[in-house]
Amino acid sequence: PTLAERLIIEITETAAMLEPARTLDFMDRLRRQGCAFALEQIVGFPGLGYIL
């Protein structure tokens, strides 16, 4: 695996919801490079649904 494929970036729900469009753009760009993401502090479905 490449270095990017070994990288997991943790994003908190609070940070992701502050600027959801910017967060999704950031995640899309890095996901195309092979990075994975872990969302932390997911407190409920409505918050997760808003991010995704």
pLDDT in tens, 2-29: 999 999 999 888 888 888 899 999 999 9
Two structure tokens written together for 38: 């872990």
Say yes or no to pLDDT of 42 above 70: no
pLDDT over 60 (residue 38): yes
- Answer yes or no: is pLDDT of 48 > 60: no
Residue 49 has pLDDT above 70, yes or no: no
Residue 45's pLDDT is what?
54
Cα of 12 vs its chain's centroid, Å: 8
Which pTM was predicted?
A: 0.68
